[in-house]
A and B are shown apart, each in its own frame.
Chain A
């Protein structure tokens, strides 16, 4: 139902810090119709060219300043992921994505107020790294 919100187009790119590529980043809108505190992100999965990225290599942020692992995010209640604003997701991986075309599949699930199961959205995109 909210698949269209997942994985904003043209947002996936390698991230360079201090001259080194530390991984890659992508953005997603929320799989819900309202904003929620970060603690209500139930899970995020990234599949890179058919392989699941280990959860501990994924960090998230709403402002690109303060980053949380998914485990840390479980207690983050004062940072709100607003409706209409992206969540920034990074995969920490030395060298990032190699040059060429990749298939990146993002799964985002959030807990909601009255629906017993988390609302999940999935989107796979072809990402070209030049």
Chain B
């Protein structure tokens, strides 16, 4: 029988607090603990200096904070700098060597799972598998809106994952693929920056019809449909219209086939509204689905509304994270009685 779904916070959620030195890593970890999350997710490149070659001091501080807070270090978010150099792409060997360093780092940090960023090529898996086994660290590709199940690179990874069939290879799902409404914080921010509101009226209307721009573009051979062309007035509009395909409106059932491979979830948070639920994503519905499908991993709050703060408005990362965590906990208590 499956265990319980557990809460987690991606420290990505508090990146502005960290960048502007209002909070240190220690402050952030204590904040997460004080809000009763069970686990944390960290981008080593964001908050652990020198990653992946961290110093003994950085490691000692990490170990101290983990002991002090009692938080479970669930997962590290890993990137692959294939464009490290301006004049060429990294070779396969160089890519694999970089990822081996990340596996060793995860092991040092007491972490047993790595999120590989979307578009990491499938051919890293076979050569990395012996290292995953040796260091007891699983690697899981992020399935992110705009680069999700229909994406050829994601599909190749999934095929390789299925053929390897190892507990050390899996997927991380970013719930930006389950937007029921286009995030209004994105629309408000981009409109304030000069993008025509007609673009968002059109995109929002697609979500109301149960679809999204990504799907519409596929159905339209990647050309903008006439309604969107009509809404585009400037170059900026055209550029931003392309980015609107990074929010998708899949039914939960798309996960049926992949549940055995799913290691972790990014609970993407655009905006907790006054009334409580998240503006775009029905987390109660999703948690019910996950519970019914025996998921018992972590669901990690990943606040991204910080990117869309309007000029002159305060940063509300802490408030948003606390509200989302409380909501997820309340849903879990109800669902997992």
Closest residue on chain A to residue B239 by CB atoms:
A117
Given A1-B307, A35-B51, A114-B118, answer yes or no on A40-B83 (Cβ-Cβ < 8 Å): yes
A39: which of B49, B82, B85 is its contact (CB, 8 Å)? B85
State A101–B43 Cα separation when bound (angstroms): 40
Given A39-B86, A83-B19, A114-B119, answer yes or no on A33-B79 (Cβ-Cβ < 8 Å): no
* B21 cross-chain contacts in A, Cβ below 8 A: 84
Q: Which of A1, A34, A40 has the most CB of B within 10 A?
A: A34
State A113–B12 Cα separation when bound (angstroms): 16
State A94–B68 Cα separation when bound (angstroms): 53
Interface residues on A, range: 20 to 34
* A111 cross-chain contacts in B, Cβ below 8 A: 83, 86
B84 touches A37 (CB 8 A): yes
Q: How many Cβ-Cβ contacts under 8 Å join chain A to chain B?
A: 61
Is B45 located at the chain interface by the 8 A CB criterion? Answer: yes
* B87 cross-chain contacts in A, Cβ below 8 A: 74
Interface residues on B, range: 20 to 34
B46 touches A113 (CB 8 A): no
Shortest B75–chain A CB gap in Å is 15
A114 touches B50 (CB 8 A): no
Given A33-B43, A34-B45, answer yes or no on A113-B79 (Cβ-Cβ < 8 Å): yes
Q: Which B positions have Cβ atoms within 8 angstroms of A? A: 12, 15, 18-19, 21, 43, 45-47, 49-51, 79-87, 117-119, 147, 307
Q: Which A positions have Cβ atoms within 8 angstroms of B? A: 1, 5, 29, 33-37, 39-40, 42, 74-75, 77, 80, 82-84, 111-114
28 contacts between A and B (CB under 8 A): A5-B19, A33-B12, A33-B43, A34-B43, A35-B51, A36-B45, A37-B81, A39-B84, A40-B81, A40-B84, A74-B85, A74-B86, A77-B84, A82-B49, A83-B19, A83-B46, A83-B47, A84-B18, A111-B83, A111-B86, A112-B79, A113-B80, A113-B83, A113-B117, A113-B119, A114-B117, A114-B118, A114-B119
